[in-house]
Amino acid sequence: MSKFKKVWLSVLIATFLFSLTAVAAWTKKPFEGVTIRAALIGGGNYEKLYEEFIPKWEKLTGAKVVIVAKMSHFELDKKFKLDFAAGAADYDIMTNHTSFAPQYDKFGVLLDLKPYFSKKDLSDFLPSVLKICYIGGRLIQIPRHIDISNIYYRADLFNDPAKKKAFKEKYGYDLAPPETWDQAYDIAEFLNNPPALYGTQFTGKEEAFSGRFYEMLLSNGGRLFDSHWKPVFNSPIGVKTLNYFKKLYQSGLVPPGVVNYVWDDVAKNFAQGKIAFHLDWGGWYPWYDDPKSSKVAKTFGYSLMPKGDAGVRVHWSGAHSFSVLKSSKHKAAAVSLIKFITSEAAGKFEAELGFGAVRKSVWDYVLKTTRDKRKLNFYKTYKYALENDEIVTPPLIPEWPSISNILYPQLQAAILGEKPVKKALDDAARKVEELMAKDGYYR
Amino acid sequence: MLKSKEKLLIFSLLSPSLLIILFIVAFPLGFSLYVSFTSYSLLTPGSMVFTGLDNYISLIHDSVFWGSLKNTVIFLTIAINVEFFLGLGISLLLSRELKGGRVLRTISMIPMMFAPVLVGFQFKWFFNDQVGMVNNLLYTLHLVKKPVLWLINGDLAMFSILVAEIWRGTSFMIIILTAGLMSLPKDPFEAAEVDGASGFQKFRYITFPLLSPFIFIAMAIRSLDIATAFDIVRIMTGGGPAHRTELIWTYVYRLGIVDTKFGLGCAMSYVTVVISIAFAYYLFKQLLKVRG
């Protein structure tokens, strides 16, 4: 073989080997061999996202996801706090929630995601939602969906001509989903026919009750705290607000068991057709509309929540989200996974399950593609509330769960008639003030 | 008499196990006792500052703590006693030579196999005022016109929780007492038969004294184990409404985990431990008395 041929052959082989390496490098998946451990909210429709999107992400990236915990947020909350305190959080990503996040952030374990998300990445999220994902200027969570409450009502009752006529004669205005809390009372009183049918209901236990009180207090023009973090919910507006709940309870317009109800209890009652109207999260819509789980499927209506004395609708709200832990050894992969499961495609998938979208593009999509008139009304109402009403979170401070724990037993004591309303609120305010003082808010 | 070399060998062979036990049992106990004298909050790791008896003093001034203590004593007394009498009655039936006795004994163990959380959900549904089985049954039989507030009214709520706990706990009594009854010697009964003793006399003067060690052991174990009722209470009422069914365990959870006041939660846990030890000590003293 001539010298030229030898050189030529060497170059050829070298080029072939280089191309092979380049192709191999090009086809190698970005997180091949990486394992991401995740602690996620489980149950109901929450898990469908993981079933649909995590295998796709694994296929794209070559990484593997191990879900180390899949439980309700109540259980997760307990786990997270103990894990963080003990330094035993061995997962890369976790389910978070805007109401719980300040507590977790106090442990200093959550990664600031700002450097990992460009302005373009974030531009599609609703600004009001994105705002509550920051703590101290750090983006510690990426929103998954947002929950707000509106009215679910028995349209068969509201559209009954005989009832419409009788209502107009008695109250002087048309029977329709209530615009104000006063109207809500009238309608509850009019439709109340216990024990077969109650006018309305509310969640009367735990944070579910504190939150309901909070949003009505705000819509009436009240506040939980003044600018110095002194509790002011025992103001005359607070008394009026709690009296409203007490009057509903004492007049028998709500099931007497409400003080023991949380979300699944009110949902079961409404699905059984035992409640004329009530406030509930948007996420329940598919369940209410499924004839397998609900007697009111295909017949109930959905409308905006009532306004308070201040002339505004206030929605106590919170966004489910995902966070990455600072301790993660695979931060890039963890962030990539979060981006994937909060992407536009994931948002569309979850919006179709009934969850409140947090991306503008997802809202555009569902409004354009939904054909079912009732469902379209649901989406339109939801979006209207997100864009036009006051969307509030509980105070984003780590003390909120403790405040709620002080508040709701006192609210219960008042509506059960164990204590006068003013005394119950004063007692709660005194205890909250002690808590805030202990935690250094008045130094 | 063991020689000192043998003693040393025994001690060196046991020392790994002793060290492990010390680390697993004694250290957490000692540490949590220390935490009970600090202001430690889960959310503020730097807050483990020694505050002396502050936590214990604040418990003394806490009306909810006293309420929960009272509820716990009532709950414990009723649950243990009812479980005992039910367990004894059923054991006396099951310990006889019955056709299908083995199957019945197996069935009687089923409630014990349920996790307390599941029992809580099951009985919460039974006693739900609107869609619950109990109220629906009462309506159907025309026994009530208005829903009975099983989980709202203070006494009824405590009753409902007790029903759930007794349903779950009686199985344990049945197992221990049936085993005890089946292991009793036959001679004293035969002698009593010859002497013409009545059924009640045989029970009062032979069965009961011979069974006493089993009774005290079963009651001691149940009184310590009954704290697992926490899950039942948390699911059925959450300690409410307005703290009406708050037990010491639900309040410890509320303070320590939900409110993240770990120091205060530990202090309250130690109060619970002292009460449990006192109760167990009393039972064991009675047991020793019975055994002569």
What is the domain count for chain B? 1
Chain A with chain B: Cβ pairs closer than 8 A: 86
Q: What CATH number is given to the structural domain containing B170?
A: 1.10.3720.10
The two tokens of residue A313 are: 């609708």
Interstrand relation of A149-154 and A390-392 (parallel, antiparallel or unpaired)? unpaired
Task: Give me the pLDDT at residue A117, please.
Answer: 95
Average pLDDT over residues A101-114: 92
Task: Give me the pLDDT at residue A12, please.
Answer: 83
pLDDT tens digit sequence for A174-206 = 999 999 999 999 999 999 999 889 999 999 998
Q: Average pLDDT, whole number, for chain A?
A: 92
Rounded alpha-carbon distances, angstroms, from residue B63 to B1, B57, B59, B60, B67: 58, 12, 8, 8, 6
In a domain, B201, yes or no: yes
The Cα of A280 is separated from the nearest Cα of chain B by a number of Å equal to 18
Task: Give me the pLDDT at residue B283, please.
Answer: 76
Q: Which band of pLDDT confidence, cut at 50, 70 and 90, is reported for residue A156?
A: very high
* Least confident stretch, A72-86, A138-152, A322-336, B50-64: A72-86
pLDDT at A25 over 70: no
In a domain, B89, yes or no: yes
Say whether the peptide bond before residue A398 is cis (omega within 30 degrees of 0).
Answer: no
Closest partner CB to B128 (pick from A257, A402, A418): A257
In a domain, B237, yes or no: yes
B152 interfaces chain A, CB cutoff of 8 Å: yes
Fold of domain A149-316+399-438: D-Maltodextrin-Binding Protein; domain 2 (3.40.190)
pLDDT tens digit sequence for A290-308 = 999 899 999 999 999 999 9
Rounded to whole angstroms, the Cα distance separating B290 from B285 reads: 9
In a domain, B116, yes or no: yes
Rounded to whole angstroms, the Cα distance separating A429 from B1 reads: 70
Task: Give me the pLDDT at residue A27, please.
Answer: 66
Write the CB contacts of A199 (distance below 8 Å, at least 6 apart in sequence).
A187, A188, A189, A190, A191, A192, A248, A253, A254, A275, A276, A277
pLDDT at A18 over 80: no
Other beta carbons within 10 Å of A164: 15
Task: Give me the pLDDT at residue A359, please.
Answer: 96
Q: Do B257 and A274 touch (CB under 8 A)?
A: no
pLDDT tens digit sequence for A373-423 = 999 999 999 999 988 888 888 998 888 888 998 999 999 999 999 999 999
Residue of B nearest to A255 (CA): B130
Q: Which band of pLDDT confidence, cut at 50, 70 and 90, is reported for residue A24?
A: low
Task: Give me the pLDDT at residue A247, please.
Answer: 97
Strand order in the sheet with A149-154: A277-281, A149-154, A300-303
Q: Do A409 and B130 touch (CB under 8 A)?
A: no
In a domain, B21, yes or no: no
pLDDT at A1 over 70: no
Task: Give me the pLDDT at residue A401, please.
Answer: 85
Domain that holds residue B153: 70-290
Indicate which of B258, B261, B262, B264 best probes the interface with A, i.e. most A CBs within 10 Å of its own CB: B258
Task: Give me the pLDDT at residue A9, please.
Answer: 83
B258 interfaces chain A, CB cutoff of 8 Å: yes
Residue of B nearest to A413 (CA): B242
Fold of domain A35-147+318-388: D-Maltodextrin-Binding Protein; domain 2 (3.40.190)
Percentage of chain B lying above the pLDDT 70 cut? 98
The two tokens of residue B266 are: 């530990």
Interstrand relation of A318-324 and A142-147 (parallel, antiparallel or unpaired)? antiparallel
A206 interfaces chain B, CB cutoff of 8 Å: yes
Rounded to whole angstroms, the Cα distance separating A308 from A337 reads: 42
Q: Give the distance, in angstroms, between the CA of residue A403 and the centroid of all CA atoms in the same chain.
A: 19
Residue A300's DSSP bridge partners are A154
Task: Give me the pLDDT at residue A223, please.
Answer: 96
Write the CB contacts of A174 (distance below 8 Å, at least 6 apart in sequence).
A164, A167, A168
Task: Give me the pLDDT at residue B104, please.
Answer: 86
pLDDT tens digit sequence for A31-57 = 999 999 999 998 767 899 999 999 999
Longest dimension (CA), chain B: 81
Indicate which of A260, A261, A423 best probes the interface with B, i.e. most B CBs within 10 Å of its own CB: A260
Q: Which band of pLDDT confidence, cut at 50, 70 and 90, is reported for residue A14?
A: confident
pLDDT at A435 over 80: yes
Dihedral angle computed from the Cα positions of residues A206, A212, A214 and A220, in that order, rounded to the nearest 10 degrees: -160
A106 interfaces chain B, CB cutoff of 8 Å: yes
In a domain, B40, yes or no: no
Task: Give me the pLDDT at residue B103, please.
Answer: 86
The Cα of B38 is separated from the nearest Cα of chain A by a number of Å equal to 14
CA angle A178, A302, A298 (to 5 degrees): 135
Q: Domain-by-domain residue ranges, chain A?
A: 35-147+318-388, 149-316+399-438
**Spans of chain B below 50 pLDDT:** none
Other beta carbons within 10 Å of A27: 7
Task: Give me the pLDDT at residue A23, please.
Answer: 65
Q: Which residues of B touch A257 (CB under 8 A)?
A: 128-130, 147, 149, 151-152
